Amino acid sequence: MQLHYLTAHQLHDMLVSKQISAEELTRAVFDRIEQVEEKIRAYVTLTQEQALELARQVDKARLAGETLPLLAGIPVAIKDNMCTKGVRTTCASKILYNYIPPYNATVMERLNEARAVMLGKTNLDEFAMGSSCENSAFFTTCNPWDTNRVPGGSSGGSAAAVAAGEAILALGSDTGGSIRQPASFCGVVGMKPTYGAVSRYGLVAYASSLDQIGPFARDVTDCAMLLNVICGHDPLDSTSAPYDVPDYTAFLSGDIKGTKIGVPREYMGEGIDPAVKEVIQKAIDVYTGLGAIVEETTLPHSEYALPAYYLIAPAEASSNLARYDGVRYGYRAGEAEDLVNMFMQTRSEGFGAEVKRRIMLGTYALSAGYYDAYYNKALKVRTLIKDDFDRALEQYDLLLGPTAPVTAFKRGEKVDDPLQMYMVDICTLAVNLAGIPAISIPAGMVDNLPVGLQLIGRPFGEGDILRAAYAFEQNTDHHRKLPE
């Protein structure tokens, strides 16, 4: 077996028993990157020298007899919207093409403490706005299962990197499905934690009330390990929750007898590809076979999630992205005649079409005379959606359904039709509006393309989700399938 396709927990054992060194492992992954990156294009920036140096330090520490954290020496890819001190952080946007942050995001600090090895920064839809990675200002990332297809988005680079063996683990961010949907398309595990579980400090904001950082991994155990590192209160983030982070690997017992699982009928109805539905149905059978109680339930306001999301997220984005004006850093349009023109030209040239579309949507939604009809109404709908989940999760331990209504689509297929593109996220958006955790795990294939199963849990119920995900994984082998 090649090192680059092993899991973090397997590699950890090999590192501890000194079968391999961290440097060897890092080199192996960079060899793999060299081999396939031309086809996949998962990375915006690679940090090979820095990675090898870190790996050598880990090896040295281990030789010196130090007991190291579980992720010490494990290669990790970082979505390029998380600030990395001294390493370019672009958000896949022309407007930040040359931006080098002077500080680390809190998740980076945690990874450094855990002595994980950053491989580089992965591609995304510009400012995390998109579902296919096609909105990157630089290039499109390809799906390792079929390079004519998209990896999903916006964290497509991180998902593709893990799927293609170009990283062992990765971090993504999820505002409306941006971790789970690419995880589904690329056949890996991806989790969006509860809003407030992981610090957003240093995550370049798209929609502050929805953004959440989370892990990509090749199996549920790795996902739990990475979650252990990144979760927890951060005094630098007022929206991060003060709570005792459990050891998430302790939930991986495999026993889910008696667990009550609800299947919202809205997630298995119209708009869901029948072949995808079939895969999910088989997953339900697995759970039933394991002694879980699976029943149909309802989230009656589901159809309003998408319109509410496309008012709230753009409204916040219109304000969050106002700072990119060419004054202090990043791209600045040349030779503007005055200040206002400098602002306008910089932003016209620096942002891509989808980002501009959302800034305009959001500006409109917040404007005098429209605020109540749009933004405020959307907030009310958000409350109704939250109530739906509260009610359903009072009755059920978990909710289950497809992560995405379809499998990975072809590049270019939806770029000219934003609404079609937005529809790809109908199963994931509502979870962000409710602020609750959810995972996508590989559940089967349709025409040799992966299908993700989504499990949704209660606030801070990551452990319950992982327990059920792990039980499924133990009784199937979908997660072991590898792309060509």
Partner 1 sequence: MAHYEAVIGLEVHVELKTNTKIFCHSSTEFGADPNHHVCPVCLGLPGVLPVVNKKVVEYAVKAGLALNCQIAAFSKFDRKNYYYPDLPKNYQISQYDLPIAEHGHLEINVNGANKYIGITRVHMEEDAGKLVHQGTISTTPYSLVDYNRTGVPLIEIVSEPDMSSADEAVAYLEKLKAIIQYTGVSDCKMQEGSLRCDANISVRPVGQAELGTKAEIKNMNSFKALHKAVSYEIERQIEVLEDGERVVQETRTWDEARGETFSMRSKEEAHDYRYFPDPDLAPLVIDREWVNEIKASLPELPDERRDRFVKVYGLPEYDAMVLTGTRELADYYEQCVELYNNPKLVSNWVMGDLARMMNVSGQEIQDLRISPHQLAKMLELLDKGTISGKIAKTVFEEMFKTGKDPGKVVEEKGLVQISDAGLIDKVVEEVIAANPKSVEDYRAGKEKAIGFLVGQVMKSTKGKANPGLVNELLKEKLGK
Active site members: 79, 154, 178
Instruction: Give the Cα separation of 29 and 75 in Å (integer).
Output: 8
Q: What would the DSSP string read from start to end of 303-329?
A: GGHHHHHHHHHHHHHHHHGGG-SSSSS
Cα 222 off chain centre by: 15
CB of 101 to partner 1, least distance (A): 7
Q: For residues 235 and 199, is the Cβ–Cβ distance under 8 A?
A: no
Is 334 a binding residue for partner 1 by CB under 8 A? The answer is no
Strands 169-174 and 212-217 turn out to be: antiparallel
360's enclosing H/E stretch is: helix 353-366
Is 239 a binding residue for partner 1 by CB under 8 A? The answer is yes
Is 86 a binding residue for partner 1 by CB under 8 A? The answer is no
Single out the segment in contact with partner 1 by CB under 8 A; choices: 51-59, 366-374, 436-444, 473-481. 366-374
Instruction: Give the Cα separation of 120 and 42 in Å (integer).
Output: 10
Is 125 a binding residue for partner 1 by CB under 8 A? The answer is no
CB of 309 to partner 1, least distance (A): 14
Is 83 a binding residue for partner 1 by CB under 8 A? The answer is yes
Strands 438-446 and 189-192 turn out to be: antiparallel
State the CB neighbour count (10 A cutoff) for residue 228: 21
Is 101 a binding residue for partner 1 by CB under 8 A? The answer is yes
Single out the segment in contact with partner 1 by CB under 8 A; choices: 56-64, 201-209, 292-300, 396-404. 201-209
From 97, 138, 243, 371, residue interacting with partner 1 (rule: CB under 8 A): 371
From 219, 316, 462, 464, residue interacting with partner 1 (rule: CB under 8 A): 316
Strand pairing partners for 170? 77, 216
The 8-class DSSP code of residue 480 comes to G
From 45, 48, 319, 476, residue interacting with partner 1 (rule: CB under 8 A): 319
CA atoms within 13 A on the CB side of 81: 33
401's enclosing H/E stretch is: strand 398-402
Single out the segment in contact with partner 1 by CB under 8 A; choices: 10-18, 299-307, 364-372, 460-468. 364-372
From 39, 60, 323, 481, residue interacting with partner 1 (rule: CB under 8 A): 323
Residues in contact with partner 1 by the rule CB under 8 A: 82-83, 89, 91, 96, 99, 101-103, 105, 200-205, 207-209, 235-239, 315-316, 318-319, 322-323, 325, 327-329, 339-340, 343, 363, 366-368, 371, 375
